[in-house]
Amino acid sequence: ESRDSQPVMTRARALLRSVFGYESFRGSQGPIIESVVAGQNALVLMPTGGGKSLCYQIPALLRPGTAVVVSPLIALMRDQVEALKHNGVRAACLNSSLDPDERREVEAALWSSQLDLIYVAPEKLLSGFFLDRLAGLEIALFAIDEAHCVSQWGHDFRPEYMRLDVLRQRFPQVPRIALTATADTRTRREIEQQLLSDGAETWVSSFDRPNIRYQVGPKLNARDQLLGFIHQRHRDASGIVYCLSRKKTESVAEWLNSRGVTALPYHAGLSANERATHQRRFLQEDGVVIVATVAFGMGIDKPDVRFVAHLDLPKSMESYYQETGRAGRDGLAADAWMVYGLQDVYQVRQLLAQSNAGLEQQQAERRRLESLLGFCESTDCRRQQLLAYFGEDHPGECGNCDNCLNPPETWDATEPARMFLSCVYRSGQRYGAAHVIDILRGSVSEKIRRAGHDRLSTFGIGHHVDKKTWYSVARQLLARGYLETDPEGHGGVRLAPDCRPLLRGEQTLAIRRDAAGPTRRSRSATR
Of 37, 43, 45, 52, the one binding ligand ADP (CB under 6 A) is 52
**Is the CB of residue 305 less than 8 Å from the CB of residue 334?**
yes
425: Cβ–Cβ under 8 A, 6 or more apart, which residues? 495, 503
51 binds, among ligand ADP, Zn ion, none (CB under 5 to 8 A by kind): ligand ADP
Closest by Cα among 246, 291, 297 to 268: 246
**In one letter, which amino acid is 456?**
L
At closest approach, how far in Å is the CB of 518 from ligand ADP?
A: 29
401 binds, among Zn ion, ligand ADP, none (CB under 5 to 8 A by kind): Zn ion
At closest approach, how far in Å is the CB of 160 from ligand ADP?
A: 20
Stretch that binds ligand ADP, among 44-52, 98-106, 405-413, 462-470 (CB under 6 A): 44-52
Residue 114 CA to residue 367 CA, distance in Å, equals 48
26 binds, among Zn ion, ligand ADP, none (CB under 5 to 8 A by kind): ligand ADP
Pick between residue 299 and residue 396 the one whose CB is nearest to ligand ADP: 299
Residue 512 CA to residue 491 CA, distance in Å, equals 25
Q: What length is written for the chain?
A: 527
Using CB under 6 A as the binding rule, whether residue 31 contacts ligand ADP is answered as no
Q: Where are the beta strands (DSSP E) in 341-474?
A: 410-412
Using CB under 6 A as the binding rule, whether residue 522 contacts ligand ADP is answered as no
At closest approach, how far in Å is the CB of 114 from ligand ADP?
A: 24
Integer-rounded Cα Rg, in Å, for the chain is: 27
Using CB under 5 A as the binding rule, whether residue 278 contacts Zn ion is answered as no
Size of the site for ligand ADP (CB under 6 A): 12
**Is the CB of residue 400 less than 8 Å from the CB of residue 333?**
no
Site string for Zn ion, 396-435 (x = CB under 5 A): -xx--x--x-------------------------------
Closest by Cα among 266, 274, 223 to 245: 266
At closest approach, how far in Å is the CB of 409 from Zn ion?
A: 16
Residue 368 CA to residue 381 CA, distance in Å, equals 19
Stretch that binds ligand ADP, among 22-30, 261-269, 341-349, 511-519 (CB under 6 A): 22-30
Pick between residue 46 and residue 345 the one whose CB is nearest to ligand ADP: 46
Output the DSSP codes for 267-328.
Answer: -TTS-HHHHHHHHHHHHHSSSPEEEE-TTS-TT---TT--EEEESS--SSHHHHHHHHTTS-
Using CB under 6 A as the binding rule, whether residue 48 contacts ligand ADP is answered as yes
DSSP 452: T
Using CB under 5 A as the binding rule, whether residue 381 contacts Zn ion is answered as yes
Using CB under 5 A as the binding rule, whether residue 383 contacts Zn ion is answered as yes
Interface residue list for Zn ion (CB under 5 A): 381, 383, 397-398, 401, 404
Residues in contact with ligand ADP by the rule CB under 6 A? 22, 25-26, 29, 46, 48-54
